[in-house]
Amino acid sequence: MGIEQTFAIIKPDAVKSGYSGAILTAIEENGFSIKNLKKVHLTKAQAEGFYAVHSERGFFGELTDFMSSGPCVVMILEREGAILAWRDLMGPTNPEKAEAHTMRKRFGKSIGENATHGSDAPDTAAFEKSYFFSCFERV
């Protein structure tokens, strides 16, 4: 595995609860370089565009309402095997099934409010990075 980039979000529930700093610390302690970072407050339409892949699923409306409910922190992370490493550090979608050291176990409240998001594949990471960061913003 080589050096790669992934996209990550600290979701509105974790930002509102004041967990951003602890999550950022964990990211760096686990060998990630934070290449880009900004705080954004998505509109409903922006959340719908980002999660368009899920538009036919029953949870789409609830998901996009939640993601537009408050500010979130969006990031591009880099390290060897970044996509899998970030997904491992996040833990499963359901915080109840996550291991103690994971972000979702430590900071998630439920399947819907699970503190973090991460890309699941290189093509997804490419789309997600470009959705939030222009080519001029990326380092």
What is the per-residue pLDDT across 87-127, written as a single tens digit (0 to 9) for each? 999 999 999 999 999 999 999 999 999 999 999 999 999 99
In 91-137, alpha helices (H): 103-107, 122-132
Instruction: Give me the chain's average pLDDT, please.
Output: 96
CATH superfamily of 3-41+73-132: Nucleoside diphosphate kinase-like domain (3.30.70.141)
Q: Where are the domains of the chain?
A: 3-41+73-132
1 has pLDDT over 80: no
Whole-model pTM? 0.95
* From 41, 54, 101, 117, active-site residue: 117
Q: Is 117 a catalytic residue?
A: yes
pLDDT of residue 139: 78
Q: In the numeric block, which tokens belong to residue 78?
A: 């880099």
How deeply is 56 buried, as exposed, middle or buried, from its count of CB atoms within 10 A (0-12, 13-18, 19+)? exposed
